[in-house]
């Protein structure tokens, strides 16, 4: 069974339908990029995938033992408290909280997992540093490590490079790609960066209330929807650049 199956779902926000008759699925190892214009329902869909907003119609099923609390989530930078007075190590470790259940203390295994994620993302030398003293790129690495501590199966990233400079953005995209390929963790990323989506993603979901396109990234590039969207943003991706 797929990790996530969305079957003919309709989702409302404040009484207004914002996602309608949407069907798609996410398999282990997929890299799905969700694109679309502002107001197309992307953020509402994210809430439903996290189990925070139930569809008013249809169903969202999680497979392979995946639970909503086991989805690693990285929100937009604007949603993160940047002056939080905690160390890098404390924040990364907090990704293990949902797995603790009724037990309030971190185990040796939790600490080992946090160390492994900090090493993977190259932030082990920052573990004693205060989160609020980090650069934007460093903060996103810390939050990605935290999200990875919460999951072994799926990452949900909501505009993860917002506000980052181009060099840091490229480095961060490379990290996500490596996590997807080496750890076999499914990645679901909401993004306006269609060029990077077409370069790295395996699948594209183009959302405009419903799915204008869902399929493999190479097919999106050739599709009428893909051509129209790429033309509208003046993207060189349509030329294969």
pLDDT of residue 102: 58
pLDDT of residue 241: 38
pLDDT digits (tens, 9 = 90+) for 136-157: 899 999 999 999 999 989 999 9
Q: What's the whole-model pTM score? A: 0.88
Question: Could you say which residues of the chain have pLDDT below 50?
Answer: 239-241
| Contacts within 8 Å (CB) and 24+ apart, 212-220 | 212/36, 214/23, 214/24, 217/33
CA separation for the pair 75, 158 (Å, rounded): 5
Residue 107, φ and ψ in degrees, nearest 5: -90, 170
* Domain membership of residue 75 as a residue range: 4-239
Instruction: Indicate the burial class of 214 (C-beta count within 10 angstroms; 0-12, 13-18, 19 or more).
Output: buried
CATH number at residue 128: 3.40.50.300
Instruction: Indicate the burial class of 216 (C-beta count within 10 angstroms; 0-12, 13-18, 19 or more).
Output: exposed
CA separation for the pair 153, 178 (Å, rounded): 14
pLDDT digits (tens, 9 = 90+) for 188-219: 999 888 887 788 999 999 999 899 999 999 99
> What residues pair up with 15 in beta bridges, in sequence order?
none
CA separation for the pair 49, 47 (Å, rounded): 6
Rg, Å, the chain Cα set: 18
CA separation for the pair 57, 162 (Å, rounded): 32
* C-alpha 26, offset from chain centre: 12
- Per DSSP, helices labelled H in the chain are 42-49, 88-93, 108-120, 136-149, 166-183, 194-200, 217-222, 224-233
pLDDT of residue 240: 46
Q: Which two tokens stand for residue 204?
A: 């594209």
| Structure letter (DSSP) for residue 152 | S
**Domains identified in the chain, total number:** 1
């Amino acid at each position: 069974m797929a990790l996530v199956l969305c079957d003919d779902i309709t989702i409302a926000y404040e009484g207004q339908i914002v996602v309608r008759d949407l069907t798609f699925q996410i398999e282990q190892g997929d890299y799905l990029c969700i694109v679309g214009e502002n107001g197309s329902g992307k953020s509402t869909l994210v809430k439903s995938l996290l189990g925070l907003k139930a569809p008013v119609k249809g169903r969202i099923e999680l497979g392979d033992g995946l639970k909503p609390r086991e989805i690693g989530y990285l929100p937009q930078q604007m949603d993160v408290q940047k002056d939080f007075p905690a160390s890098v190590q404390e924040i990364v470790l907090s990704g293990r909280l949902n797995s603790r259940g009724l037990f309030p203390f971190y185990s040796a295994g939790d600490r080992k997992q946090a160390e492994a994620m900090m090493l993977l993302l190259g932030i082990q030398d920052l573990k004693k540093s205060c989160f609020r003293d980090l650069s934007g790129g460093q903060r996103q690495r810390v939050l990605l490590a935290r999200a990875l501590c919460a999951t072994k199966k799926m990452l949900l990233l909501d505009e993860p490079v917002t506000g980052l400079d181009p060099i840091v953005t490229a480095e961060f995209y490379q990290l996500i790609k490596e996590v997807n390929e080496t750890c076999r963790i499914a990645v679901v990323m909401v993004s306006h960066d269609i060029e990077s989506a077409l370069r790295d993603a395996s699948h594209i979901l183009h959302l405009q209330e419903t799915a204008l396109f869902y399929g493999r990234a190479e097919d999106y590039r050739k599709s009428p929807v893909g051509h129209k969207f790429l033309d509208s943003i003046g993207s060189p991706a349509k030329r294969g650049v």
